Structure 1
Amino acid sequence: MNVICIEEKAFFTLMDGVIKYVRSEMEPIIQDKWIGKMEAMRLLRIKSPTTLQKLQDEGKIRFSQPEKKHIVYDRDSIIEYLEAHAKEPF
């Protein structure tokens, strides 16, 4: 077993560099405007496709149907739906 000793200042400098690197790698990730059923359910924190269908049927979230059996959901409308139902703290 090898043990590496470094000064506290050097350790925190190293950690700052690692954190900056990880953040820079995460920033370029672009989220799609249109998402599939599973991603929509994950964002809404629901497990039932029936609940997703109900939100779609009631016009509470936007969707697009480019092909007969292919439905995608608008990520922004899901976020807006969640924000509209958010409760402010007392």
Structure 2
Amino acid sequence: MNFNFDTKNHPSSVQYIMMGTSDFYKLVEVIYQRIIAQQKQEQSISWLTKKQAMELLHIQSPTTLRLLVNEGKIMVSRLSSKKIYYCRNSILKYLEMKKEEVF
């Protein structure tokens, strides 16, 4: 792929990338394959850390996460009082249950 970075005729805050159509489609394919690989890797993980669980739930409060666990909405595996892992599938089921249909 050949890229042409032309900064001479444009303000420094704006840069343009020029490439041929076939190179563009190759770049799109590379990006697509990386996204698919990342999704497959994420789906293969069954147990998540607190940080990963909160990111998946789009929450920022550990209290909210603990509340979901205490209410039985999310399953956990407690290896010790400090080592807790959260079940990815139960989080996905919870999110699916909370989705709303758009008209």
Q: What is the TM-score when the length of structure 2 is the normalising length?
A: 0.71
Regions of 4+ moved over 3 Å: none
Aligned pair partner of 2:22 in 7, 13, 17: 13
1:31-50 matched pairs, under 5 angstroms: 31=42, 32-50=45-63
The two structures, once aligned, show a CA RMSD in angstroms of 1.8
Q: Distance in 2 between matches of 1:48 and 1:86?
A: 20
For these two proteins, the number of residue pairs brought into alignment is: 83
Which residue type is aligned with residue 60 of structure 1?
A: K
How many Å apart are 1:18 and its aligned residue? 1.0
Q: What amino acid is aligned across from residue 59 of structure 1 in structure 2?
A: G
Aligned-partner residue type, residue 17 of structure 1: K
Rounded to whole Å, the distance in 1 between the matches of 2:79 and 2:102 is 40
Output one character per residue of 1:20-64: Cα deviation in whole Å (capped at 9) or x when no partner. Answer: 122223333312111111111111111111111010011001111
- Amino acid in the other structure paired with 1:70: K
Give unmatched runs, 5+ long, in structure 2.
7-18
Give the percent of matched residue pairs that are identical in Structure 1 and Structure 2.
35
Say if 1:88 and 1:22 are closer, same or farther in 2 by CA, change over 3 A: same
The one-letter code sitting in structure 2 at the alignment partner of 1:48 is: S
Q: Greater relative contact order: 1 or 2 (C-alpha under 8 angstroms, separation 6 or more)?
A: 1
User: Which of 61, 68, 72 is residue 81 of structure 2 equivalent to?
Assistant: 68
